[in-house]
């Protein structure tokens, strides 16, 4: 059984104009998968639909055995889905601690403080100043807080939308190192990312979305061997391809 | 200058501030200027009066004034019933009108216009049911007692000021210290992200209506107790309510209260210094000045 399975997913804001057109894939427990594709391919729309933020027009989404398509975002969190949007992914007018306390509200009262403490330990940049307004954090620290918030409820599947967008190369390294630790801890990861090399190094399996449809689903090596996709996303020709 | 204007301003400002709190909460969480809020004040006063009448019919002793106030135990009991009915009215209106428009993704201006229309309908309905003739919670006369420094106030007036202070403090603690308050602030900042955090946004919207309508009812009863009850009492307060909410900074509870007190005091001193005919213009002048000079208000945040 898969941690996340998507079958025939059509999604978009206008019922007559699907942005995601009948996409199917599944992700195993503990697996890390990246979703690649050119701008406008529907990557973000697809994961927002999975997270309940974009209307699903057709198809099904399962988290484990549970059918979750069409549930509102807050219900999906309770079903074990953690989602980190690309931008505006923390409450800047609330403190770091308040951001975590809101997420912790879903846990039993006896577990809340220990989970918050665990997250502050896991992300030392946040731990030293829990009372500070989240709006004062740098771009990288905001991504850390967003990840900490999503992880706090111990989701079965963590979905991230371009976590490195707008960050300096140094911060990108930090973010991917954190994601590596999260993946190594056994959390199922689904990642939309423009930084293709970093994403492939982290995940090892790639889904390529083109014009709202799945153009490729395979390992990183498969992507290297595919001439067109290799040129599109890795900037080189496939092994053995004519120069 | 007669210092009595200060106490008059505090009394008027208490009612305006309480009303403005509901308005500012609705504005920041529901994201539209709710013109029906003034009518919730009027409906709250009339519904409380109706419940009070029913209670008086059941037990005549409830209407006898409790010293030193002008009203009996029936009024606070009726206020509970009136507040519950006003809350039901607000939740019902959200269900049949505003909620449907939100679900359709209607523009803010459509929702504002809908609230304007609903406001007129609510006001006309009140006039139809209760007529335009003013009514009163009590006919008992109260003598204002000296407070020192040349100021006087009746026990009812002092109760209104004290009750307002307690309610504002309680609400401030709710919003700043509790999980519900954190969730309300989160929805106010970014409703979509609030859902991703696991907050049931629809539930927070309902809580906002409950608080807003409950406070509107209390403010309406206060205004009715100190002056009179009329179908247009809420509509007449609408401009001061908006001025107070915007002056305090949209979303800020202490700001709305302070804004209400400032408007109330400005009105009272204007009546004394310039003349009563300028009273209604004060809110408008303050509103225009705030929008021109500091649109984020006293405690609001500048939009990025």
The residue of chain B nearest to residue A105, with distances taken between CA atoms, is B179
Over the stretch A125-178, which tens digit does the pLDDT of each residue have? 887 888 999 999 988 889 889 989 998 998 999 999 998 887 788 778 888 888
pLDDT, tens digit, for every residue of B215-266? Answer: 999 999 999 999 999 999 999 999 999 999 999 998 888 899 999 999 999 9
Q: How confident is the model at residue A242 (pLDDT cuts 50, 70, 90)?
A: very low
What confidence tier does A230 reach under pLDDT thresholds 50, 70, 90?
low
Nearest by CB to A74, which of B190, B199, B301?
A: B199
Q: Which residue of B has its CA nearest to A88?
A: B193
A82-127 tens-digit pLDDT: 999 988 999 999 999 999 999 999 999 999 999 999 999 888 888 7
More confident residue, A4 or A236: A4
**CA B253 centroid distance within chain:** 12
Supply the ipTM of this predicted assembly.
0.87
Higher pLDDT, B291 or A220: B291
Q: Are B85 and B47 in contact (CB under 8 A)?
A: yes
Phi, psi of A84 (to 5 degrees): -120, 105
Nearest Cα of chain A lies from the Cα of B268 at a distance, in angstroms, of 36
Binned at pLDDT 50, 70 and 90, residue A219 comes out as: confident
On chain B, the residues whose CB falls within 8 A of the CB of A51 are 196
Summary mean pLDDT of chain B: 92
* Res A241: pLDDT: 44
Which residue of chain B is at minimal alpha-carbon distance from A100? B197
pLDDT tens digits along B134-163: 999 988 888 888 888 888 999 999 999 999
**pLDDT (0 to 100) of residue A194:** 85
pLDDT, residue B303, reads 59
Q: Which of B179, B182, B200 sits opposite A74 (nearest CB)?
A: B200
Query: Average pLDDT, stretch B82-95?
Result: 97
């Amino acid at each position: 059984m898969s941690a996340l399975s998507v079958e025939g997913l059509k999604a978009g804001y206008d019922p007559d104009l699907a942005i995601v057109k009948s996409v199917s894939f599944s992700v195993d427990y503990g697996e890390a998968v990246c979703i690649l594709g050119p701008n406008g391919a529907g990557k973000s729309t697809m994961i927002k639909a999975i997270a309940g933020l974009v209307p699903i027009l057709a198809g099904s989404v399962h988290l484990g055995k549970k059918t979750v398509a069409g549930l509102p975002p807050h219900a999906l969190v309770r079903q074990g889905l953690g989602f980190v949007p690309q931008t505006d992914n923390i409450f800047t007018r609330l403190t770091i601690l308040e951001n975590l306390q809101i997420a912790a509200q879903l846990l039993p009262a006896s577990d809340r403080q220990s989970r918050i403490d665990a997250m502050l330990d896991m992300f030392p940049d946040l731990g030293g100043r829990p009372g500070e307004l989240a709006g004062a954090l740098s771009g990288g620290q905001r991504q850390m807080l967003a990840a900490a918030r999503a992880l706090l409820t111990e989701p079965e599947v963590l979905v991230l939308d371009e976590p490195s967008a707008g960050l300096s190369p140094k911060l990108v390294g930090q973010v991917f190192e954190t994601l590596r630790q999260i993946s190594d801890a056994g959390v199922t990861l689904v990642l939309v990312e423009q930084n293709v090399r970093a994403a492939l190094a982290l995940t090892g399996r790639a889904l390529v979305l083109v014009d709202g449809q799945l153009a490729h689903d395979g390992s990183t090596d498969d992507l290297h061997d595919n001439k067109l996709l290799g040129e599109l996303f890795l900037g080189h020709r496939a092994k053995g391809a004519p120069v | 200058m007669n210092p009595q204007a200060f106490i008059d301003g505090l009394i008027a400002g208490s009612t305006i501030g309480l009303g403005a709190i509901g308005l500012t909460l609705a504005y920041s969480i529901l994201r539209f200027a709710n013109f029906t809020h003034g009518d919730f004040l009027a409906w709250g006063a009339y519904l409380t009066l109706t419940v009070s009448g029913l209670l008086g019919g059941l037990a005549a002793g409830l209407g006898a004034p409790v010293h030193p106030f002008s009203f009996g135990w029936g009024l606070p009991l009726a206020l509970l019933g009136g507040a519950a009915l006003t809350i039901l009215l607000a939740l019902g209106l959200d269900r049949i009108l505003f909620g449907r428009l939100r679900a359709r993704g209607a523009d803010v201006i459509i929702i504002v216009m809908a609230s304007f229309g609903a406001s007129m309908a609510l006001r006309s309905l009140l006039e139809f049911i209760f007529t335009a003739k003013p009514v009163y919670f009590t006919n008992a006369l109260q003598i204002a007692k000296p407070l020192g420094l040349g100021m006087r106030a009746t026990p009812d007036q002092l109760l209104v000021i004290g009750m307002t202070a307690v309610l504002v403090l309680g609400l401030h603690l709710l919003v700043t210290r509790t999980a519900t308050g954190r969730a309300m602030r989160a929805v106010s900042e970014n409703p979509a992200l609030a859902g991703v955090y696991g907050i049931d946004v629809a539930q927070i919207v309902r809580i906002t209506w409950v608080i807003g309508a409950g406070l509107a009812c209390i403010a309406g009863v206060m205004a009715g107790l100190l002056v009179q009850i009329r179908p247009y009492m809420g509509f007449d307060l609408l401009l001061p309510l908006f001025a107070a909410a915007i002056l305090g900074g949209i979303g800020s509870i202490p700001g709305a209260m302070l804004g209400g007190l400032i408007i109330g005091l400005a009105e009272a001193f204007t009546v004394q210094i310039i003349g009563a005919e300028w009273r209604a213009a004060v809110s408008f002048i303050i509103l225009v000045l705030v929008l021109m000079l500091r649109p984020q208000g006293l405690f609001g945040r500048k939009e990025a």
